[in-house]
């Protein structure tokens, strides 16, 4: 029996020597801004307007001259004349003079002659007059013209992965369309003699394909196009033919299963036949996800993900998603932790491997605790129960209960 040796890589190697070498799509399309979530901005965008376009009040209260409130207190209020009212959305057509105040709502324009706003809570109205019981300084409670964004400012950098905050900013500036890189297209091939479709009843020792269909849905949620193009039996020739068939029409090929080194694990052998440079790494120093295959055929990335559902799930997040983001033209492609959580139990580490442990998070006494869900990589149930994973870095001998750990939310 031929047993292949694996070319192992650390997580760091994979990001710096594989993912970072993956090229990005160059074709650009123009989209409605509202359709652009999870897409990647294809050009730097500069603002054509100032934000805000006028001095605006940040509170409900009275616009006035700060100087007129000097020394004011509840026992010695400053008495000002109410000159007029500012209406929201309307440019005030009157000016304030010293000794006068104007009612202004939150978001209303500051009238000429005023330089601050005192909150209504610190005032008392008396007919045509208002008592000011607290001094304000110049600029207080005022958002100045162009303080947020100046015309000509770069508001989005090429390579930005667009989130709702970006869409909100674009809409605020009236930018109804945006240029983005076209969607990356992924082909997913499932493998295994024992695999049946999820809607079929498996015989004893058969398994439903839960991995590839879930992956398609998950990838599409992240702004890519994914097709589960075929299922192939454990046969090197069929896998090679299938890979050859789909290689040119997609930006990335993912093969699910058969990534290990058993005699019937053909993924690595079929990939190697496709062309150069071939397999860059076969094996990651991580658990789960160890037998992942990282290959490049010409400039096209091909990934072999382990078939075990948990390993498949973790590899998709830590290896596949970064490759997809890089292909899509995103500047940031390495996964960032969502934050830190406190471990509820000791978690031992695995010697010589970066360890991702599924956890359930619990919010207690103002802190976020993580309950480790120990199980095998073949267990599907605990992916469903987990809120995410914690990472135990290479060389760290486990993390004790009460200590902080990096947390990646699913
Ligand atoms: N001698 C060794 N054996 C194994 C090693 C090793 O280092 N030496 N590594 C183990 C690890 S770790 C993993 S992970 C698995 C990965 O194996 P493969 O990628 O070759 O996956 P398969 O053998 O095809 O399947 C494993 C398991 O997953 C089920 N599976 C496969 N595809 C799907 C699917 N689409 N949906 C749901 N479940 C699927 C399959 O039926 C198997 O039960 O290798 C270890 N072995
Ligand atoms: O590394 Mo495997 O991916 O333990 O299950």
* pLDDT by residue, tens only, the chain of 410 residues: 344 456 789 999 999 999 999 999 999 999 999 999 999 999 999 999 999 999 999 999 999 999 999 999 999 999 999 999 999 999 999 999 999 999 999 999 999 999 999 999 999 999 999 999 999 999 999 999 999 999 999 999 999 999 999 999 999 999 999 999 999 999 999 999 999 999 999 999 999 999 999 999 999 999 999 999 999 999 999 999 999 999 999 999 999 999 988 888 899 999 999 999 999 999 999 999 999 999 999 999 999 999 999 999 999 999 999 999 999 999 999 999 999 999 999 999 888 899 999 999 999 999 999 999 987 767 888 889 999 999 999 989 899 999 999 999 98
Does 370 lie in the same domain as 344? yes
In a domain, 334, yes or no: no
Does 269 lie in the same domain as 166? no
Q: What pLDDT score does 7 carry?
A: 73
Q: What pLDDT score does 295 carry?
A: 97
Which residues on neighbouring strands pair with residue 117, listed in sequence order? 63
Ligand 1 proximity of 141 Cβ (cutoff 6 Å): no
Residue 54's Cβ-count burial label (10 Å; 0-12, 13-18, 19+) is: middle
Does 168 lie in the same domain as 62? no
CATH number for position 162: 3.90.105.10
In a domain, 223, yes or no: yes
What distance in angstroms lies between residue 30's CA and the mean position of ligand 1's atoms? 42
Does 106 lie in the same domain as 87? yes
Question: For a substitution probing ligand 1, which of 260, 261, 316 has the most ligand atoms within 8 Å of its CB?
Answer: 260
SS3 4: coil
CB proximity list for 174: less than 8 A, separation 6 or greater: 48, 49
Instruction: Kindly give the number of the ligand 1 atom that is closest to the alpha carbon of 259.
Output: 19
Do 111 and 128 form a contact (C-beta atoms < 8 A)?
A: no
Does 197 lie in the same domain as 163? no
What distance in angstroms lies between residue 307's CA and the mean position of ligand 1's atoms? 4
Does 286 lie in the same domain as 231? yes
SS3 121: helix
Helices (H), 188-346: 211-221, 236-247, 267-272, 309-315, 321-327
What token pair was written down for 198?
A: 């999820």
Ligand 1 proximity of 290 Cβ (cutoff 6 Å): yes
**Whole-Å CA distances, 74 to 128, 205, 377:** 19, 82, 68
Ligand 1 proximity of 209 Cβ (cutoff 6 Å): yes
What distance in angstroms lies between residue 179's CA and the mean position of ligand 2's atoms? 40
What distance in angstroms lies between residue 305's CA and the mean position of ligand 1's atoms? 9
What distance in angstroms lies between residue 306's CA and the mean position of ligand 1's atoms? 5
What token pair was written down for 208?
A: 């439903």
What distance in angstroms lies between residue 148's CA and the mean position of ligand 1's atoms? 53
Does 384 lie in the same domain as 317? no
**Distance from C-alpha of 409 to C-alpha of 314, rounded to nearest angstrom:** 11
> Which residues, judged by CB distance below 6 Å to any ligand atom, belong to the binding site of ligand 2?
287-290, 306, 308, 311, 377
Does 128 lie in the same domain as 67? yes
Pairing of strands 78-85, 129-132: antiparallel
**ipTM over the 0.90 cut-off:** yes
Q: What pLDDT score does 6 carry?
A: 62
In a domain, 225, yes or no: yes
In a domain, 32, yes or no: no
Does 226 lie in the same domain as 187? yes
Do 377 and 292 form a contact (C-beta atoms < 8 A)?
A: no
What token pair was written down for 33?
A: 């801004």
Which residues on neighbouring strands pair with residue 301, listed in sequence order? 296
Residue nearest to atom 16 of ligand 1 (CA): 306
Buried b (16+ CB within 10 A) or exposed e, 233-244: ebebebbbebbe
Residue nearest to atom 6 of ligand 1 (CA): 260
Do 8 and 294 form a contact (C-beta atoms < 8 A)?
A: no
Please state whether the predicted TM-score (pTM) of the whole model is above 0.80.
yes
Considering every ligand atom shown, identify the ligand nearest to the alpha carbon of residue 290 and give its number: 2
Scanning the structure block, which residue is given the tokens 């103002």?
A: 366
Question: For a substitution probing ligand 2, which of 284, 377, 382 has the most ligand atoms within 8 Å of its CB?
Answer: 377
Q: What pLDDT score does 215 carry?
A: 98
Torsion over CA of 189, 315, 335 and 327, rounded to 10 degrees? Answer: -20
Domain count, the chain: 4
**Distance from C-alpha of 45 to C-alpha of 43, rounded to nearest angstrom:** 6
What distance in angstroms lies between residue 314's CA and the mean position of ligand 2's atoms? 9
Does 199 lie in the same domain as 265? yes
**Distance from C-alpha of 29 to C-alpha of 77, rounded to nearest angstrom:** 61
In a domain, 247, yes or no: yes
Boundary (domain end) residue, out of 160, 181, 202:
181
What distance in angstroms lies between residue 270's CA and the mean position of ligand 2's atoms? 21
**Distance from C-alpha of 34 to C-alpha of 49, rounded to nearest angstrom:** 20
Which residues on neighbouring strands pair with residue 79, listed in sequence order? 131
Buried b (16+ CB within 10 A) or exposed e, 341-368: bbbbeebebbeebbbbbbbebeeeeeee
Considering every ligand atom shown, identify the ligand nearest to the alpha carbon of residue 256 and give its number: 1
In a domain, 194, yes or no: yes
Q: What is the H or E stretch that residue 226 is in?
A: strand 225-232
Q: What pLDDT score does 37 carry?
A: 97
Boundary (domain end) residue, out of 327, 360, 377:
327
Q: Which has the closest alpha carbon to 117: 105, 99, 129? A: 105
Considering every ligand atom shown, identify the ligand nearest to the alpha carbon of residue 258 and give its number: 1
Instruction: Kindly give the number of the ligand 1 atom that is closest to the alpha carbon of 306.
Output: 19
Does 399 lie in the same domain as 353? yes
Structural domain of 352: 339-409
What distance in angstroms lies between residue 211's CA and the mean position of ligand 1's atoms? 12
Boundary (domain end) residue, out of 93, 128, 143:
143
In a domain, 33, yes or no: no
**Distance from C-alpha of 307 to C-alpha of 312, rounded to nearest angstrom:** 6
In a domain, 164, yes or no: yes
Does 323 lie in the same domain as 196? yes
Q: What pLDDT score does 5 carry?
A: 54
What token pair was written down for 60?
A: 């409900």
Do 78 and 41 form a contact (C-beta atoms < 8 A)?
A: no
**Distance from C-alpha of 318 to C-alpha of 138, rounded to nearest angstrom:** 51
Q: Where are the beta strands (DSSP E) in 271-345?
A: 277-282, 286-287, 293-297, 300-305, 339-343
């Amino acid at each position: 029996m031929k047993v292949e040796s694996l070319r192992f890589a650390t997580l760091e190697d994979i990001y710096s020597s594989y993912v970072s070498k993956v090229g990005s799509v160059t074709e650009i399309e123009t989209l409605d801004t509202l359709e652009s979530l999870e897409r990647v901005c294809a050009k730097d965008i500069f603002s054509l307007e100032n934000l805000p376009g006028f001095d605006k009040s940040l509170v409900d209260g009275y616009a006035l001259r700060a100087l007129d409130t000097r020394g004011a207190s509840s026992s010695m209020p400053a008495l000002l004349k109410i000159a007029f009212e500012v209406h929201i959305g309307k440019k005030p057509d009157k000016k304030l003079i010293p000794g006068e105040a104007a009612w202004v709502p939150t978001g209303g324009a500051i009238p000429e002659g005023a330089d601050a706003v005192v909150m209504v809570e610190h005032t008392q109205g008396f007919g045509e007059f208002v008592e000011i019981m607290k001094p304000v300084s110049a600029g207080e409670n005022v958002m100045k013209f162009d303080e947020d964004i100046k015309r000509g400012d770069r508001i989005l950098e090429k390579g930005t992965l667009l989130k709702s905050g970006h869409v909100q900013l674009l809409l605020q500036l009236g930018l109804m369309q945006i240029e983005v890189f076209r969607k990356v297209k992924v082909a997913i091939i499932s493998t295994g003699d024992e695999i049946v479709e999820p809607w079929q009843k498996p015989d004893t020792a058969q398994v439903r394909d839960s991995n590839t269909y879930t992956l398609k849905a998950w990838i599409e949620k992240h702004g890519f196009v994914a097709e589960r193009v075929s299922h192939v039996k454990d046969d090197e020739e069929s896998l090679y033919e299938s890979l050859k068939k789909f290689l040119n029409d997609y930006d990335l090929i993912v093969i699910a299963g058969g990534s290990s080194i058993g005699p019937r694990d053909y993924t690595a052998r079929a990939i190697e036949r496709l062309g150069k440079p071939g397999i860059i790494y076969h094996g990651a120093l991580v658990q789960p996800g160890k037998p992942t295959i990282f290959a490049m055929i010409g400039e096209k990335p091909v990934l072999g993900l382990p078939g075990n559902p948990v390993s498949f799930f973790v590899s998709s997040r830590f290896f596949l998603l970064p490759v997809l983001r890089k292909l899509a033209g995103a500047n940031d492609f390495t996964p960032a932790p969502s934050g830190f959580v406190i471990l509820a139990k000791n978690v031992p580490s695995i010697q010589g491997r970066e360890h991702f442990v599924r956890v359930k998070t619990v919010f207690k006494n103002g802190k976020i605790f993580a309950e480790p869900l120990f199980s095998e990589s073949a267990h599907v149930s605990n992916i469903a129960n987990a809120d995410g994973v914690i990472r135990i870095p290479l060389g760290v001998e486990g993390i004790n209960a009460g200590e902080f750990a990096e947390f990646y939310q699913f």
